[in-house]
Amino acid sequence: MARVSNKSEKQTKTTAATTTKKATKKKAAGTKTPKKSNIPAIKRPRSMSLDSFNEYMATLTVNLEHRIAELEKMHDEKKCPHKAIQHLRSMLKETEYMQKRITPLIKPKRKQTDKKNNILMKKVAISPALAKFLQLGKGEQVSRSEVNSAITMYINVKNLDAVPAEKQKWLKRMNPGGKRNLQDPENGSIIVPDKALSELLNYAAYQKKVKAGKQVWNRKNKATGEKEDKVEDSDRLTYSVVQHLLAPHFPKGETVSAPAAAPAKRGRKAAAPVVEEPAESEASESSSGDVEDDEE
């Protein structure tokens, strides 16, 4: 009986081992090793440039071609379209990504105006009266930007420590120590000129013109966006009016990109531009000007 039971145990063990091996083989046969995909992976560049974008587009094109081929094969085999939907969603995401990143590359860059050709930075001849006011030498030229800085400092200097190094010369000439303040105490946008500034700007003629109703500004209507003529009813002096009254002290006919003067012939010197002294009646002859509204 003992021998029979031992044989039975051996047979049972052998049968169990055989069954386990068969089951393992079946599992191994059922588990398929994933095939390596021939579809190139899409790698998004960290920084978008023209070269990296072209490379990205080439990879995306090949990727889409492979995916379309897979979809056609799946359609022929009548398989579940779930994978096809995943492919389509993936392609949609890549297309959206491409559209977002290509926009900055296609958008044209704005051309920056060269400061040397800018009329505000170009040094020009000025009237003798303005040259005397700015304490400049005879024939010395200056840019409109420098004149604006000098006049602004003559009127008031809010913070002496904030004046840049390139404008320190105007501070020393026009308002040493920043002691002068010609701004209205109640409204800083209004200027109360002294005798020297009034004579330079011919402010008395401007006041007469306003009083007579002949001072007309051509201003932009914020509601319609079109320019309209508006009669000035106040003779207050603001910074925009100062710019208008300084215009006669500069040469006329200047443009932003003025062509260079022709070279002088041998034996002759090129004539310097002449700016006539603004007459007292000159400010009253012009009837309009483009001046922006001042903030109250």
- Provide DSSP, 240-287: HHHHHHHGGGS-TT--TTPPPPPPPPTT-PPPPP--PPPPTTHHHH--
Instruction: Return the exposure string of 119-145: e unless at least 16 CB atoms fall within 10 Å of the residue's CB, then b.
Output: eeebebbbbebbbebbebeeeeebbbe
- Highest mean pLDDT: which of 87-91, 108-112, 241-245? 241-245
Asked if the model's pLDDT at residue 106 lies above 70, the reply is: no
For residue 125, pLDDT beyond 70: yes
> Rounded to a whole number, what is the distance in angstroms from the first to the last CA of the chain?
120
Could you count the other beta carbons within 10 Å of the beta carbon of residue 30? 7
Residue that wins the pLDDT comparison between 57 and 210: 210
Phi, psi angle pair for 237, to nearest 5°: -100, 115
- Rounded mean pLDDT, 113-122: 68
261 has pLDDT over 50? no
**148 and 238 in one domain?**
no
Q: How many domains does the chain have?
A: 3
Decide if 271 is inside a domain: no
Angle between helices 144-155 and 239-246 (to 10 degrees): 130
- Least confidently predicted of 22-36, 76-90, 112-126, 129-143: 22-36
The helix (run of H) or strand (run of E) holding residue 216 is strand 216-220
More confident residue, 16 or 99: 99
Q: Measured in whole angstroms, how far is the alpha carbon of residue 77 from the centre of its chain?
A: 56
Least confident of 32-36, 76-80, 177-181: 32-36
Vertex 248: Cα angle to 244 and 253 (nearest 5): 100
Which residue range is the domain that position 120 belongs to?
115-181
pLDDT tier at 127, thresholds 50, 70, 90: very high
- Using CB atoms within 10 Å of the CB of residue 241, give its burial: 0 to 12 exposed, 13 to 18 middle, 19+ buried: buried
User: For residue 135, what pLDDT band results from cuts at 50, 70 and 90?
Assistant: very high
Whether pLDDT at 228 is above 60: yes
Structure letter (DSSP) for residue 167: G
Average pLDDT over residues 31-54: 67
Q: Are residues 126 and 84 in the same domain?
A: no
User: Does 191 lie in the same domain as 160?
Assistant: no
Is 281 a residue whose pLDDT tops 50?
Answer: no
Q: Are residues 281 and 228 in the same domain?
A: yes
Please say whether the beta carbons of 286 and 232 come within 8 A: no
Out of 57, 75, 107, pick the residue that ends a domain: 107
Query: Among 169, 193, 164, 190, which Cα is nearest to 180's?
Result: 193
pLDDT mean over 46-64: 76
* Structural domain ending residue among the three candidates 181, 197, 227: 181
As a whole number, mean pLDDT of residues 221-248 equals: 87
Q: Is the pLDDT of residue 265 over 70?
A: no
Asked, for residue 35, whether it belongs to a domain, the answer is no
16 Rama class: left (phi>0) / alpha (psi -120 to 50) / beta:
alpha
* Residue 59 vs residue 270, higher pLDDT: 59
Is 18 inside any structural domain?
no
**What does the alpha-carbon distance between residue 178 and residue 171 come to, in Å, rounded to a whole number?**
7
Range in 112-116, 121-125, 181-185 the model is least confident about:
112-116
Is 147's pLDDT higher than 90? yes
Report the percentage of the chain scoring pLDDT > 90: 22
Give the residue with greater pLDDT, 239 vs 108. 239
Largest pairwise CA distance in the chain? 144
